[in-house]
Each structure stands twice: as structure tokens, then as C-alpha cells.
Amino acid sequence: MAKRDYYEVLGVSKDASKDDIKKAYRKLAVKYHPDRNAGNKEAEDHFKEATEAYEVLADEKKRQAYDQFGFAGVEGMGTEGGAGGAQDFSSVFRDFEDIFGDMSGIFETFFGGGGGHAGGARTRGGGRERHHRGADLRYDLEISFKDAVFGTSTEVNYTRNAPCQACKGSGAKGGSGRKICPTCGGSGQVRRSSGFFSIASTCPTCNGEGYMVENPCEECNGTGVEKKRRKIKVTIPAGIDNGKRINIPGEGDAGQNGGRPGDLFIVIHVKPHRHFERSGNDLYCAIPISITQAALGGEVFVTTLDERKVKLKIPAGTQNGKMLRLKGEGIPFLHNENKRGDLYIKLMVSIPTRLNGKAKELLKELADEQGENKSPDPIPLSELS
């Protein structure tokens, strides 16, 4: 790549301020950084070119020399054009945190900056203690159909990680405390340089924590947590459906190093009912009626899910499979028990299988009176429900 004017590389004028130069370089560094352009040789070259330009223009002495004498003016001053082609970008890396100060996420990802987990407290070594949130837990709870419809409360027993009682969650024996990791100085990361690039990785000594426990607690082996049985009361709201989850904040595993605990998720499994089925907030059931009830109509009493007797009027001439509705006798809406769905009742006409002599005679009279069709035409399938 032919060497270009440094001002042209950064896209700034020759009277640009130092802040303007920083902003221009930051934009290019983010755009062309190798971490975002893996395997892209052209992007890598642009990144090196922009870094070299910034290294010169951000330094007052080098910039003055470059403005007066061009590339020859900065030879031997640590740029790519120096003696033997040696590159010294140390000043650039020292200034990276200033450049990316308001872009801490990018800075940490690209260059392993000193920032730790959000909300972490600074250690004496300059790093951050990692406050790890505890894991969320799942508990599968099976309840009856009626309990799902009308709500209930129950107790659940489960095992979770709780703060160790012996060390109060510190992981250190007898209050001995922790010390800054000597390998990473509390940052949780170690850096290695390979030519132009500086790569940060998790510290192998402290596993990225930034600190070490000198005398681990014997009860929890230095983890700061221990397994504990937990019993809590859970309220099941009326109208909850199969597969729904109830979130109980703070009842999951304990966090490490003062981190907040995770949550407990109760997953509801509803047992099927013998007589009722659910669809949304509506209930469905079926009841048998006699052929005379179907023909003449009348009233029957239907037992609802909550075992009340509700009057249902059957219209004369009801056909087998007809659906009738009882408004407001369905399932309560979740978190609004004053509103309920409906109960749909399917009428199944029951045909007697055993008839005495008198019943047979009566049915024969009915058949003669109605004039039964001895050769019925097929019914279109589209008319069948």
C-alpha cells in the first residue's frame, strides 16, 4: 500500500485539533480493527495505516516535524519509517483508554481494558472484582385441573446454592479474606504482545476473578456457596394454563462475590380433567340427553367445574352434537378473576338399546305419524360439523 499523507489517512484538515484527530482515529480503528475483520488483509492494512498516522499526529513534536519535513521529519522517531523499519506504537496503546473512554465495551473487547463486570467494585490493584449473578433455577410443578382454573397455594422443596454459613459467602477460612491476583494485578486478564498486536485473555491463575483466596474455607472449598434445601410457599394464580411459568425473584442460586441471586422459575404442568377440556378461557364438556328431550326440548341441570348446578334450556328438535353455551361459566382470566370465559356444552342424544313392549309400540306409532323416509338421500359432508 502506497504511503499516504497522514492527514488524508485520518480524513482531517491540517489545522485539526487533537480532539478531532482522536475522534477521526477512533472511528477508523473501530471500523478496521482485525477483531471485526478477521482474515481481511485490506482492513488490517488500513488499521495499521490509521494507527501510524495517529501515532504521529497525536504527538506535538512528531506532528511539528511532519508538518515541516514530511515523512523524512519523523524518521527515527518511532514510526514505521524509522531506522530498520522498527515500529513503536507504545504511545498509541497508552492512549487507547483515553480514546475509547466512552466506548468501554469496545475497548475491553479489542484491547482487554481494565474494566470488569458492570457494577463491580474496584480492587486495590486497579481491576474490578467480578460480582457474578447466581444461576436461575427451574422447578416443574404438577397441579390439578381445578387448581389451575381456580388458583391455589402450595409448598415446593428444592435444592439451591446458598451463601456458605461458615465463611459468610467469602470463600475464605476464618475471615482471612482475599488477595489481589499476583499474575494479573487484579484486572482478571493477562496480555501478550505479538508484533503489532496486543491480545488480552483470561488470567489462568485466578480464572478472571482478579483475586485469590489465600486460605479456602473447608466447608465450601473456597467457592463461597453450599447446597441447601429450601422450602417456599408458591401462589398459583387462578386461570393459569399448562406450560406457563411463575417467576420468583431471588430464589435461585446465590451469587458469587456479593452478586445478586438468580431467580426460580416454576413451570406449571396441568393434569387433564375427566370431563372438562380447556381452550383459552373457555371450557368444554358433553352431556347425554334422551331422544324425547332432544325432540320435545326441556330443561336439564348441568354440573359445572366448581360443582354447582346450572339450568340449561334444550330447544325442541335438538340434533345430536349441538353445542350450547353457558356464558361466564368458563375459566377466570389470569390476574382478573372477575372476568371469565364461557362453558360450551355438547349435547349427545342417547339412543336406548333395550326397549320394553310398550316403548316399542310408542316408537312405532311415532314412526307412522312422522312418515319415516325409507330411502334417504346422502347428506353433503360440508353440512356435517
Residue 125 included in any domain: no
Q: Is residue 123 part of a domain?
A: no
CATH number of the domain within which 154 lies = 2.10.230.10
Q: What is the mean pLDDT of residues 332-351?
A: 92
Does the residue 117 lie in any domain?
no
pTM across the whole model: 0.57
Helices and strands (DSSP H and E) totals, the chain: 9, 17
What is the reported pLDDT for 165? 83
Which residue do the cell numbers 389451575 mark? 148
Average confidence (pLDDT) over 19-36: 87
**What pLDDT digit, counting tens, does each position of 199-244 carry?**
778 888 777 777 777 788 888 877 788 899 999 999 999 999 999 9
Q: What local confidence, expressed as pLDDT, does residue 283 receive?
A: 97
Is 256 in the same domain as 324?
no
Average pLDDT, the chain: 81
In this structure, how many other beta carbons lie within 10 angstroms of the beta carbon of residue 301?
10
Same domain, yes or no: 96 and 157: no
Task: Let me know whether 169 and 190 are in one domain.
Answer: yes
Instruction: Indicate the pLDDT class of residue 130, thresholds 50, 70 and 90.
Output: low
Q: What's the total number of domains in the chain?
A: 3
**For position 376, what pLDDT does the model report?**
82
Report the pLDDT value the prediction gives residue 265, as an integer from 0 to 100. Answer: 96
Q: Give the domain range for residue 15.
A: 6-111
Could you tell me which residues come within 8 angstroms of residue 361 by beta carbon, excluding any fewer than 6 positions away?
none
Whether 185 has a pLDDT exceeding 70, the answer reads yes
Domain containing 346 — which CATH number?
Answer: 2.60.260.20
Strand partners, 172: 216
- The pLDDT of residue 37: 80
Q: Is 302 found in the same domain as 266?
A: no
In a domain, 339, yes or no: yes
265 and 307 inside one domain: no
- pLDDT over 80 at 66, yes or no: yes
Characterize 29-65 residue by residue with b for buried, 16 or more Cβ atoms within 10 angstroms of its Cβ, and e for exposed: beebbbeeeeeeeebbebbbbbbbbbbbbbbeebbeb
